[in-house]
A and B are shown apart, each in its own frame.
Chain A
Amino acid sequence: MSDDPIIHVENLTRSYGSVVALNEVSIDLKPGVVGLLGPNGAGKSTLLRILTGELRPTIGSVTVLGMEPFANPDLYHRIGICPEQEAMFDDMTGVEFVSFLLRMRGWSPPEAASRTDEWIERVGLVEARGRRIRGYSKGMRQRIKICTAFAHDPDLLLLDEPLTGLDPLWRHKVQRMVADCAERGATVLFSSHVLHEVEAVTRDVMLLHRGRIAAEGNAREIRALIDQHPHRIRILAEEPRRLAVHLMQWDCVESVCVTDTGVRLTTPKPEAFYSRMTDESADGDLGVRGMESPDDCLQSLFDTLVLKRPVIAVADRNR
């Protein structure tokens, strides 16, 4: 086994015109699962697009699995990608889409068919396998993306907000898939703006803020900081009022507000909340269709972190 980093990023700067999306980022990623955490607009997707070779660095160098990523088919043979954007080949069925991507990765038709069946089943889309992707719900589209990222058993997985749009049960299952993948020896870079999503799969976290690595380290320490801020969660539900009444009985829920499509709540104990929500959603009685956490609390954490790091604070003021 080589000691070379799986991902090596050195002084990476990427700008879009006058907007600097990434600013002198340096990363050495070793095997395992690493969470890339940051609020919206922090530069996570830009970093992932550079790592997948869709974008080039403006300044600096990047190697992934020892190769330069831009337009590099040898690298793409070994990585799995779950992009942030929802767009797919909507006129194809889920099976056709996954199978075609496997065929492009060199699998023979029978092997591609068998792998597709296996993974379609793993992401719970057996009943929708013959339907056009156009008719899939947001969660189903997300699961198909995950399917395409995992199905060829890649050495490196680059997952951009992979849990977006998934209900608690599928969040848990995908987190399990990531953990299984890592156990088999793959490296996973998992981006999210929700610490608890990342924390469920890894303790190693990189915090990206305003295009810079604001902190790297153990998720537990970061959670201790974030838990000082009230955590807001939005839940899409079939019966918001009934769910709100139910949630108000939970110790870990501080306040609940009913909206047209679901409920908004705050919790001082997000870990306990997510854990209980996953357990109780499993039987489907709560009618939860999706869950998301705005990044306000993360944003305030980042502000705290940046203020605690004078070098970064000074650099930010100079921008």
Chain B
Amino acid sequence: MSEARFDRPRRLDTFEVVFQVAMLTLRRSLRGFRLLWPVLLVLLPGVLAISIARGQPPERQEGFFYLILAFYHFGIAVPVVALILSTSFPWPESDEGTLTYWFTAPASRWAIYIGRTMASLAVGTLLLPISVLAIGLPLEIEIAGPMQSAVTATLLAFPAYVGLFSLSSVCIRKTLVVGVVFVLIENSMSFFAGTIAKLTLVYYVRSLMWPESSPIGRDMLQKAARIDDPASAAVAIGVFVGVAILTILVALPLIQTIEYRGKHAQPG
């Protein structure tokens, strides 16, 4: 065995690993068609706003704004974008065979996981506010306040979904399928008034955008989304931060210990 054939570089520290992984993941996210579905999801409500609501009376435009935010943006776009961005690692890469390169790099698995999650958060944080703007900007109403609170609610809810889905991706092989089922069930549960709705993230995100100053918006959320008793902003923020931190903290030890045996790793 050779001893000190050359000065081997020191191992990267955790911050450097997280940075390297996040930057590579970001660069790769921006290539090819990876972002096609998230971008389509984000731009679709803008197309709807222009084609359906533009030119309608201001009350109807306002109603449309709250309706599409409550149902489409928070019910579908935010969780599905989180699902797409955060479930490609580690199980899918294990099946593909590329996980070997991540998990045999001289870096902790959990640091690599954090780097990947940071990249997902960065991409979603850039994309999803565009969805809110795409809905609000074509409409000729005073919506600066509601748009601001919708963007804030988006940026608070998105990490919670990323945490949930990336945790499930650490533990479960078919996370994409599980995630789609989760979104469907969560949306269905959110229409039940009372305790059942309060078990969903959608309830809290709709509460965060509760329009105190807009009777049309309140009416829309009460009737259509069946929110009679919105959670306070502090509770909603607590739920999102709590879910995001808790899921990531649970994922860290799990990813260190789980054996990812992809489809290519057949006995032999």
Contacts and interface: CB of A to CB of B under 8 A. Distances in A.
Interface in B147-176: none
Contacts of B257: 71
Nearest to B265: A49
A42 B264 CA distance: 15
A211 B6 CA distance: 37
Interface residues of A, number: 54
Q: Tell me what chain B mostly uses at the interface: helix, strand, loop, or mixed.
A: loop
Interface string B217-235: 0000000000000000000
B103 interface: yes
Contacts of A73: 11, 105-108
Interface string A144-183: 0000100001010000000000000000000000000000
A105 B105 contact: yes
Given A76-B105, A89-B98, A100-B24, A16 B267 contact: yes
Contacts of B267: 16, 19, 21, 41, 43, 46
B103 A54 contact: yes
B246 interface: no
A224 interface: no
Interface string B14-38: 0001001000100010011000000
Interface string B81-104: 000000000000000111011011
B118 to A, nearest CB: 16
A52 B99 CA distance: 12
B98 A87 contact: yes
A33 interface: no
B28 A106 contact: no
A1 B3 contact: yes
A185 B2 contact: yes
A84 B268 CA distance: 11
A81 B104 contact: yes
B56 interface: no
A299 to B, nearest CB: 13
A85 to B, nearest CB: 4
A46 B266 CA distance: 8
A125 to B, nearest CB: 17
B5 A111 contact: no
Nearest to A89: B98
B141 to A, nearest CB: 42
Interface in A65-83: 70-71, 73-74, 76-79, 81, 83
B9 interface: yes
A286 interface: no
A8 interface: no
Interface in A97-146: 100-101, 103-108, 111
A81 B9 contact: no
Nearest to B109: A71
Contacts of B104: 52-54, 76, 79, 81
Contacts of B17: 104
Most interface-central of B1, B10, B103, B266 (chain A CB within 10 A): B1
Contacts of B10: 106
Most interface-central of A16, A86, A111 (chain B CB within 10 A): A16
A153 B268 contact: no
Given A83-B97, A104-B12, A71 B2 contact: no
A186 B105 CA distance: 19
Interface of A: 1-2, 6, 16, 19, 21, 31, 40-46, 49, 52-56, 70-71, 73-74, 76-79, 81, 83-89, 91-92, 100-101, 103-108, 111, 148, 153, 155, 184-187
Given A73-B11, A153-B8, 17 more contacts: A1-B3, A19-B267, A53-B103, A54-B265, A71-B103, A74-B11, A83-B100, A85-B97, A86-B97, A88-B101, A89-B28, A103-B20, A104-B105, A106-B106, A111-B9, A155-B1, A186-B2
